[in-house]
Chain A
Amino acid sequence: MSHSVCVISSRAPYSGQSAREALDTALVSASYDIETSLLLMGDGVYQLLQGQEAGDIPRKNLAAMLQVLPLYGIETIYVDQLSLEERGIRSDALQEGVTVLAEGELPLFIQQHSRVFIF
Chain B
Amino acid sequence: MKFALAVYGAPANSQAPQSALHFARAVVDQGHEIVRLFFYQDGVNTATAIAQPPQDESNLPEEWQQFIQAHNLDAVVCIAAALRRGIVDQAESDRYELPGHNLRKGYELSGLGQLLDGALMADRLITFGA
Q: Identify the closest chain A residue to B40 (Cβ).
A: A21
B112–A117 CB distance below 8 A: no
B contacts with A, residue count (CB < 8 A): 16
What is the bound-complex CA distance between A62 and B84, given in angstroms?
Answer: 17
Known A28-B113, A32-B113; contact A17-B119, beta-carbon cutoff 8 A: no
Known A21-B41, A28-B113, A32-B113; judge A3-B129 contact (CB<8 A): no
B120 touches A3 (CB 8 A): yes
**Complex: chain A residue closest to B6, CB-CB:** A117
CB of A24 within 8 A of CB of B84, answer no
**Residue B73 is within 8 A (CB to CB) of chain A in the complex:** no
Partner of B116, one of A17, A21, A34, A119: A34
Report which A residues bind B (CB closer than 8 A). 3, 5, 17-18, 21, 24-25, 28-29, 32, 34, 115-119
**13 extra A-B contacts, CB within 8 A, seeds A17-B84, A28-B116, A118-B127:** A3-B120, A21-B81, A24-B112, A28-B115, A32-B113, A34-B120, A115-B119, A117-B115, A117-B125, A118-B129, A119-B8, A119-B41, A119-B129
